[in-house]
Structure 1
């Protein structure tokens, strides 16, 4: 499904950096675009594109991680990290779907500008945009915060799995 080794090193250790950067960046872009529709128009296709690249990076990283798990000694901390890693994909799918929806509706919002009164405020279209915007903001916050928290939890468990019992609290004399 994707690379498992890069220059003889486990690809998971490299791919994880893409996830750690792209998922929070896509979440931030999503929340900003939901709160400020003018940013949706400024960013254009960047929001759904960024969310798509983040989405693709998750299964690639997970696949490389599963390969790595089979090539290291059994460890409960590694198992916990792998179990948590499997929970990220639904969050990033939601991030992508909500990102596309915010982008799509943001391009069609009936606002002349960020501060101006909506065009045709008395029409049903403008009245419909208020609940759509509120729903977009709430969904964006839930999906954005949830995906970032999950990335943090997974990364923390991975760091613990890698570094437990691997260092000394006191400096080691190398001479």
Structure 2
């Protein structure tokens, strides 16, 4: 049994805001941390922790969404939204794995040469470039997926629900 209702409201409607904020925020933090050692030094353990909270929020939200889907009228837009929503978990997992790897590499490099981290943060340039490119791919992919899911959810919730004419 999952988290279905919060204070009488469908939990999905509330939890979705956590995902919409945390996943893109995690993606941005990851990209900046991988590209800029000074940002990584400031984030530290907060980067993988943020990615973990994002990762945990995704299945909670999709589970609540599946409960909601069973309690609303059948609609092709809702089904499309649900299918897109199921595709976010791999992106959130990738964000967590890459964020943890980036944090671990910088932490390991800092422990090897704490006196002189230099502008590179002590991480070799090829590794930094690979981390930055991988972070960019995963971060943009996760952000695009969140956008696609959100757009389809808004269409499912609001189609035929208002009039654009005054």
**Fold in common (TM above 0.5):** yes
Larger Rg: 1
Shift of 1:115: 6.6
8 Å contact from structure 1 (residues 4, 64) kept in 2 = yes
Runs ≥4 in structure 1, deviation > 4 angstroms? none
RMSD of aligned C-alpha atoms? 1.5
Partner of 2:160: 165
| Matched ranges for 1:65-104 at <5 A | 65-104=65-104
Q: For 1:2, what is the secondary structure of its paired residue?
A: coil
Which of 116, 119, 125 aligns to 1:114? It is: 119
| Matched ranges for 1:4-153 at <5 A | 4-109=4-109, 112-114=117-119, 129-153=124-148
Distance (whole Å) between structure 1 residues aligned to residue 11 and residue 4 of structure 2: 5
Shift of 1:15: 0.1
Shift of 1:132: 1.3
8 Å contact from structure 2 (residues 95, 139) kept in 1 = yes
Distance (whole Å) between structure 2 residues aligned to residue 35 and residue 146 of structure 1: 17
Unaligned runs of 5+ in 1: 119-125
The normalised TM-score by structure 2 is: 0.92
8 Å contact from structure 2 (residues 37, 120) kept in 1 = no
Unaligned runs of 5+ in 2: none
Partner of 1:156: 151
Distance (whole Å) between structure 1 residues aligned to residue 120 and residue 97 of structure 2: 27
